[in-house]
């Protein structure tokens, strides 16, 4: 018998009420071999997190065959990227950020990356996937544009029966926001924590019910609000028909979000009802359509000390939805078309942004080792923001942006585990008036190695 407090077996016994029944069921299905794993100070962890960690680790470690089925992988990459306008200044602005008094705004960055992961997806009821990615970007001229990014997360899936599926995901990542939103000559990064779960139930062979709660937290240190945090909790319930090529359905969702650490902080409540339609012809085409109505109400939590800051309360409502279509044109060629209209949180502050856009991409793979992708993205955004200079604060200000990009990328695998990539992209942003442009061209080259 294992010594209490020194093995995973003892930790599972502590969480027996919540976890032992499920773990016993999994042990019967995937094997009954118990693996001892030492732990220290398990009681120091918060109760909820401790239970989740112990349950996940126990269900994986409970079976030696499951451990043997884990597929480990790793990879590394190095690349260069040249950007003609990394600080995204308007063509009408003076070159106040140019280093060493130069008028040029271009910069070349070096990027290093590494990835490790593990996947278990065998014939048993348990599936899991964990991954960790890290990248470092070092700019040559605008050294304050350099940044370190990462993505750490995983997912756990359990098929309890033919009628019930359960999945849990957790992810934390750090990434920069567009330079046009943060301003200045330094990188501004947001750190996002994301947790989600899904319960799928099939009361009949034709119908499926899905429950999907989620939680998000975004830390975004702005120059004027270094402690800015955005929190969101929400979920949706969906009913869909899964009996054939055509799958109609209905989805209802609600989310509540709140800002803190910034003057004029606000909170939101957003509700949406969608009708959905999925159509699939195997190896030929797929169509995903959702159309509905979104209502979003806004309340001010704390008034800003600056009287010129916009203070708005009320509600917004309108059409929202998305369209995705994928078509295989030939053995070597496929096309993807996507469109959307949504209400979302503005990246660089507490303001509301209504976005409408579409994208088209064409992929061509002339050989098994080579592929080309041509893509076009377009987005029209209406962002609530501060009134313009000279305009009374009672007048709600809005900024309208057109974001457009064209890109061509190429990948070539010249060895079993080594590949190269090249890309060129033209980025166009026009704000309010046609002459106020924030344009740039990006050229990139990368080399990557996979160690599966």
pLDDT, tens only, 358-381: 999 999 999 999 999 999 999 998
Residue that is last in its domain, among 68, 85, 103: 68
Q: pLDDT band for position 383 (50/70/90)?
A: confident
pLDDT at 307 over 50: no
Q: Which domain holds residue 107?
A: 69-450
Q: Which of 382, 383, 375, 334 is nearest to 358 (CA)?
A: 375
With contact defined as beta carbons under 8 Å apart, do 360 and 336 qualify?
Answer: yes
Give the span between the Cα atoms of 288 and 340, in whole angstroms.
11
Residue that is last in its domain, among 68, 97, 119: 68
Q: Which of 70, 14, 17, 76 is nearest to 39 (CA)?
A: 14
Average pLDDT estimate for 7-11: 32
Give the span between the Cα atoms of 253 and 212, in whole angstroms.
9
- Length, in residues, of the chain: 452
Backbone region of residue 335 per phi and psi (left: phi > 0; alpha: psi in -120 to 50; beta: other values) = beta
pLDDT the model gives residue 44: 39
pLDDT the model gives residue 29: 32
With contact defined as beta carbons under 8 Å apart, do 125 and 160 qualify?
Answer: yes
Give the span between the Cα atoms of 231 and 265, in whole angstroms.
12
pLDDT the model gives residue 125: 87
**88 and 26 together in one domain:** no
**47 and 168 together in one domain:** no
**57 and 125 together in one domain:** no
**280 and 220 together in one domain:** yes
- Percentage of the chain lying above the pLDDT 90 cut: 52
pLDDT the model gives residue 315: 81
Average pLDDT estimate for 150-161: 95
Looking at per-residue pLDDT, the higher value among 403 and 397 belongs to: 403
Measured CA angle at 294 (ends 302, 325), to 5 deg: 130
Q: What is the Cα gyration radius of the chain? A: 25
Q: pLDDT band for position 96 (50/70/90)?
A: low
**60 and 74 together in one domain:** no
pLDDT the model gives residue 222: 85
Give the count of alpha carbons within 13 A of 439, CB side only.
11
pLDDT at 91 over 90: no
pLDDT at 323 over 70: yes
Q: Into how many domains does the chain fold?
A: 2
Residue that is last in its domain, among 44, 68, 92: 68
**53 and 159 together in one domain:** no
Listed range (237-241, 404-408, 427-431) with the worst mean pLDDT: 427-431
Supply the CATH number for residue 399's domain: 2.40.160
CB neighbour burial string for 374-406, b if at least 16 within 10 angstroms, e if fewer = ebebbbebebbbbbeeeeeeeeeeebebbbbbe
Looking at per-residue pLDDT, the higher value among 353 and 114 belongs to: 114
**90 and 114 together in one domain:** yes
pLDDT, tens only, 25-80: 333 333 333 333 333 333 334 444 455 555 555 555 544 455 557 889 999 999 99
**191 and 276 together in one domain:** yes
pLDDT the model gives residue 382: 84
Q: Which of 142, 141, 152 is nearest to 118 (CA)?
A: 152
**164 and 28 together in one domain:** no
Looking at per-residue pLDDT, the higher value among 352 and 6 belongs to: 352
Q: Which of 411, 397, 321, 311 is nearest to 358 (CA)?
A: 321
Give the span between the Cα atoms of 81 and 138, in whole angstroms.
10
Give the span between the Cα atoms of 380 and 397, in whole angstroms.
17
Residue 37, number of CB atoms within 10 A of its CB: 13
In angstroms, the Cα distances linking 255 to 216, 297, 320, 340 are 10, 11, 15, 19
**351 and 432 together in one domain:** yes
Give the span between the Cα atoms of 11 and 42, in whole angstroms.
7
- 3-state SS record for the chain: CCCCCCCHHHHHHHCHHHHHHHHHHHHHHHCCCCCCCCCCCHHHCCHHHHHHHHHHHHHHHCCHHHHHCCEEEEEEEEEEEEECCCCCCCCCCCCCCCHHHCCCCCEEEEEEEEEEEEEEECCCCEEEEEEEEEEEEEECCCHHHCEEEEEEEEEEEEEEECCEEEEEEEEEEEEECCHHHHCCCCCCEEEEEEEEEEEEECCCCCEEEEEEEEEEEEECCCCCCCCCEEEEEEEEEEEEECCCCEEEEEEEEEEEEEEECCCCCEEEEEEEEEEEEEEEECCCEEEEEEEEEEEEEEEECCCCCCCCCCCCCEEEEEEEEEEEEEEECCCCEEEEEEEEEEEEECCCCCCEEEEEEEEEEEEECCCCCEEEEEEEEEEEEEEEECCCCCCCCCCCEEEEEEEEEEEEEEEEECCCCEEEEEEEEEEEEEECCCCCECCEEEEEEEEEEECC
**163 and 263 together in one domain:** yes
Q: pLDDT band for position 133 (50/70/90)?
A: very high
pLDDT the model gives residue 379: 93
**193 and 332 together in one domain:** yes
Looking at per-residue pLDDT, the higher value among 370 and 21 belongs to: 370
């Amino acid at each position: 018998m294992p010594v209490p407090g020194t093995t995973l077996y003892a930790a599972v016994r502590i969480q027996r009420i919540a976890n032992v029944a499920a773990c016993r069921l999994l042990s019967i299905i995937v094997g009954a071999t118990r693996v001892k794993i030492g732990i220290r100070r398990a009681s120091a962890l918060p109760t909820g997190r401790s239970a989740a960690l112990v349950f996940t680790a126990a269900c994986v470690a409970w079976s030696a065959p499951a451990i043997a089925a884990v597929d480990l992988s790793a990879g590394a990459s190095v690349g260069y990227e040249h950007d003609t306008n990394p600080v995204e200044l308007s063509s009408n602005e003076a070159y106040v950020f140019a280093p060493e008094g130069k008028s040029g705004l271009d910069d070349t960055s070096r990027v290093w990356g590494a990835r490790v992961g593990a996947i278990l997806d065998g014939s048993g009821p348990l599936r899991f996937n964990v991954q960790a990615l890290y990248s470092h970007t070092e700019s040559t001229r605008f050294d304050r544009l350099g940044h370190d990014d990462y993505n750490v997360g995983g997912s756990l899936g359990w098929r309890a029966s033919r009628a019930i599926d359960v999945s849990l995901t957790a992810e934390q990542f750090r990434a920069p926001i567009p330079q046009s939103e943060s301003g200045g000559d330094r990188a501004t990064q947001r750190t996002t924590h994301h947790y989600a779960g899904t319960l799928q139930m099939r009361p009949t062979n034709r119908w499926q019910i899905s429950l999907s709660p989620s939680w998000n937290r975004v830390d975004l240190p702005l120059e004027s609000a270094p402690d800015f945090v955005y929190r969101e909790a929400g979920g949706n319930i969906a009913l869909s028909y899964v009996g054939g090529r055509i799958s109609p359905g209905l989805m209802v969702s609600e989310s509540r979000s709140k800002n803190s650490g910034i003057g004029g902080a606000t909170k939101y409540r957003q509700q949406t009802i969608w009708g959905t339609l999925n159509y699939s012809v195997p190896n030929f085409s797929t169509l995903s359509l959702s159309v509905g109505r979104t209502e979003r109400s806004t309340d001010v939590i704390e008034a800003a000390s600056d009287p010129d800051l916009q203070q708005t309360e009320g509600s917004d409502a309108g059409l929202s939805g998305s369209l995705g279509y994928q078509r295989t044109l030939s053995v070597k060629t496929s096309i993807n078309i996507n469109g959307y209209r949504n209400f979302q949180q503005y990246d660089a502050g507490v303001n509301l942004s209504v976005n409408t856009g579409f994208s088209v991409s064409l992929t061509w793979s002339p050989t098994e080792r080579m592929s080309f992708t041509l893509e076009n993205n377009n987005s029209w955004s209406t962002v609530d923001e501060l009134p313009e200079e000279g305009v009374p604060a009672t007048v709600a200000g809005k900024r309208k942006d057109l974001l457009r990009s064209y890109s061509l990328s190429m990948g070539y695998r010249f060895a079993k585990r080594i590949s190269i990539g090249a890309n060129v992209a033209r980025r166009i942003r026009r704000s309010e008036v046609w002459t106020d442009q924030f344009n740039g061209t990006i050229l990139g080259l990368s080399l990557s190695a996979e160690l599966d």
